[in-house]
Amino acid sequence: MTVEDGIIVSINPDKKGPKIALPGLVDLHTHLREPGREDAETVESGSRAAALGGYTAVCAMANTSPVADTAGVVEQVWRLGREAGLVDVQPIGAVTVGLGGEQLAELGAMADSAARVRVFSDDGHCVSDPRLMRRALEYVKAFDGVIAQHAEEPRLTTGAQMNEGEVAARLGLVGWPAVAEEAIIARDVLLAGHVGARLHICHVSTAGSVELIRWAKSKGWRVTAEVTPHHLLLTEDLAVDYDPVYKVNPPLRTETDVLALRKGLQDGTIDCVATDHAPHSVEDKECEWAYARPGMLGLETALAIVVQTMGPQWDRIADWMSVAPAKIAGLAGHGHALEVGQVANIAIFDPDVRWTVDPTALASRSRNTPYAGMELRGRVEATYLRGEPTVLNGKATR
């Protein structure tokens, strides 16, 4: 492949060795923690983790401190991303003021800002008021924005610690029932259909959710969905030793759910893989299960986990991890097939390298990876952002 001024000008079809060239990955769901929790992650450290994972663009969730609910905060995050220069950081705006769920944030001002926000989410919280959700969908329809919902009926998950079921009962932990996710998805696909607006479902985690989304798509409603790598691989059984590294929201579910999620991704019901990269400081994570914050790191391991769970289907993986998320987020310049004339956003993956995940060796400022000590197969060797290497020989260039 030859690149000039950030554009692919020729492609050499004689591939040397087993390495795989993919369009630069795009993450629809990243928590970068800046502003507010720079001890857990910064825009720069998260950008470096993303580049090492093969990403050239990430969408930064709004649950920072202060919350990204104004043009000022989304522009701050956008500027920090440009300064770091390792991936394109596209801020997501909050749906409601302070993620409070009571008053719509200034969606139009964020859309018109330098950050040109198109995705809005209260992620971490559900927009549980149906009237507010309807108004948000109506509002973003005007500029083809999308509401990304963290589907969790809060009245059904009060005090919840892990998936509701036999394992939770045995461990004596309050359960987070599948119906709390499915009830909100059912309501919101109906609202999206009614309004004719775009709805995106974050981190789908249950078999029932997959069925509901399949039904909504059969109606022709403008609904998209994501699944995380951890929900494609891990199950609730990991909670048996009360190790809070496995505490996540939505929780790890059952083997039946894992298989339904893989099937849903394979048949196109679920559009894409998103990491829900959620760094937490040692104090917030390495404590008693009940007090630990939910969330897992994901950026540096996502591609290997997707290959492990879905097989080496490179064209589909390019679709799930680059083309589809770029389209959902409206990121021009990302998510294009590697063709002459396209922007040179590229990830080079060596599928044969074996490596053991060492939390202290990750670029993230946090260590809460559920894959610590696990041997993974395949690693990103190089990443190029507009033709400039951000990762070479598996190491960040800055």
Which candidate, 310, 318, 307, places its Cα nearest to that of 377? 307
Tokens 């690693």 sit on residue: 379
* Nearest distance, CB of residue 123 and Zn ion, angstroms: 4
Neighbours of 285 (CB within 10 A): 22
Binding-site residue set for Zn(2+) = 29, 31, 123, 150, 203, 276
- Residue-wise burial string across 95-109, b where 16 or more C-beta atoms lie within 10 A, e elsewhere: bbebbebeebbebbe
For the CB of residue 218, give the shortest distance to Zn ion in the complex, in Å.
26
Pull the structure tokens for residue 319: 């679709």
Q: Which stretch binds Zn ion (CB under 5 A): 19-27, 91-99, 116-124, 234-242?
A: 116-124
The least distance separating Zn ion from the CB of residue 350, rounded to whole angstroms, comes to 32
> Of residues 132-151, which lie at the interface with Zn ion (CB under 5 A)?
150
In the complex, the smallest distance separating the C-beta of residue 239 from Zn ion, rounded to whole angstroms, is 19
- From candidates 27, 41, 123, 319, binder to Zn ion by CB under 5 A: 123
Closer residue to Zn ion (CB): 44 or 181: 181
Exactly one of 276, 284, 319, 352 is catalytic; name it.
276
Comparing CB distances to Zn ion, the nearer of 184 and 346 is 184
Q: What is the DSSP letter of 102?
A: S
Coil, strand or helix at 257: helix
Contact positions with Zn ion (CB under 5 A) in 149-168: 150
- From CA 81, how far away is CA 349, in angstroms rounded? 24
Q: Do 203 and 276 touch, CB atoms closer than 8 A?
A: yes
Q: Which residues are annotated as a binding site for substrate?
A: 31-33, 63, 249, 280, 294-295
| Count of other CB atoms within 10 angstroms of residue 299 | 29
Nearest residue to Zn ion, by Cβ distance, number only: 150
What strands, in cross-sheet order, belong to the sheet with 375-385?
A: 20-23, 346-356, 375-385, 388-392, 395-396
Residue 276 falls in the annotated catalytic set: yes
User: Of the two residues 74 and 148, which places its CB atom closer to Zn ion in the complex?
Assistant: 148
Phi and psi for 296 in degrees, rounded to 5? Answer: -140, 150
Q: How many residues bind Zn ion (CB under 5 A)?
A: 2
Chain positions 74 to 113 lying near Zn ion, rule: CB under 5 A, are none
- In the complex with Zn ion, the residue whose CB is nearer, 44 or 276, is 276
C-alpha–C-alpha distance, residues 118 and 272, integer Å: 18
Binding residues: 29, 31-33, 63, 123, 150, 203, 249, 276, 280, 294-295
CB nearer to Zn ion: pick between 150 and 336: 150
Contact residues toward Zn ion (CB under 5 A) are 123, 150
Residues that are catalytic:
276
